[in-house]
Amino acid sequence: MSELTHFAGAASSVVNRLRTAVARGVAVSNDEFLHEWELTDAAAGILVHLRHTLPDRLASWTSVAAVHVYDPPSTVMRGVDDLVERGLVDTTVDGAFLTIKGREALNALHSITGKVTDELWGESTSTCEALLPLLRTVVTAAAETGGEAFGLFFPPFEHEGSSPTVKVAGLLEPLHYHRFDAQVSAWRTAGLAPQEAQLLTGGTLWRVLQEDTNLRDAAPYSVLKSRQRTDLLSGLGSLPG
């Protein structure tokens, strides 16, 4: 395994840990948010992904389907229909976009996320500030090899006045979904269906797919020098969560 493919695997583990920490923090306020905006769980699942899409950018159906490749299409469309019914989203033949009310809901969700990330990483603000240029460089490079799911999160949207902690959390999303696309490509190449891929937790085929995923996911990190990759991994690794 090359240095870059090994790095991609290591970076993924750290990114997953940090994303999980943020998601758990946001989940604490989930019931209140759902009640305030009268959202079903299915609708909230769609809206959470749209929070990283530019407010005036269309979320294509192809990208939405790619992000939810492991979910039944009926569940995804029920979530979209719920958002439309509540006036948060409008749709076209090509995709969905936020309404003014939808942007207000995302602003509320952004506020919740900001409180969570500040609680988690507020004492590591200088680390977050140092990570931002590295993350932006890698995410920009990832646009060359990212797939349809990545396309929902690129270019990443940053709310005006966001703290460095929120910006770091936002940039983890396109990084995660670049790997997500790589993983999907790996198991599709192996002839697996989504459900079959999800059931793999070990064994020879799982290791082969992991290596293939790392290989497909590694390219964006090549834009960084070796020392920068070390700084990126150590910086992310030092963040609590």
Question: Tens digit of pLDDT for each residue in 66-124?
Answer: 999 999 999 999 999 999 999 999 999 999 999 999 999 988 988 999 999 999 999 99
The C-alpha atoms of residue 232 and residue 55 are separated, in whole angstroms, by 29
* pLDDT mean over 127-138: 98
pLDDT of residue 56: 74
Contact 48, 109 (CB under 8 A): yes
CATH number of 3-235: 1.10.10.10
| % residues pLDDT > 90 (the chain) | 76
pLDDT at 52 over 70: no
pLDDT at 166 over 70: yes
152 band by pLDDT with thresholds 50, 70 and 90? very high
Report which secondary-structure segment, H or E, holds 159.
Answer: none
Delimit the domains of the chain by residue range: 3-235
The C-alpha atoms of residue 49 and residue 67 are separated, in whole angstroms, by 8
CA neighbor of 137 nearest in space, from 15, 52, 224, 16: 224
The C-alpha atoms of residue 169 and residue 166 are separated, in whole angstroms, by 5
50 band by pLDDT with thresholds 50, 70 and 90? confident
Residue type (1 letter), 166: V
Report which secondary-structure segment, H or E, holds 23.
Answer: helix 3-28
Report which secondary-structure segment, H or E, holds 89.
Answer: strand 89-91
pLDDT at 144 over 90: yes
Question: How wide is the angle at C-alpha 96 spanned by C-alphas 20 and 18, nearest 5°?
Answer: 10
For residue 68, give both structure tokens: 């939810």
The C-alpha atoms of residue 125 and residue 132 are separated, in whole angstroms, by 11
29 band by pLDDT with thresholds 50, 70 and 90? confident
The C-alpha atoms of residue 122 and residue 240 are separated, in whole angstroms, by 10
Contact 24, 238 (CB under 8 A): no
pTM (predicted TM-score): 0.94
Note the pLDDT tens digit of each residue in 178-207.
999 999 999 999 999 999 999 998 899 999
Helix (H, G, I), strand (E, B) or coil at 100: helix
pLDDT of residue 241: 87
pLDDT at 1 over 60: no
* pLDDT mean over 160-170: 92
Contact 8, 178 (CB under 8 A): no
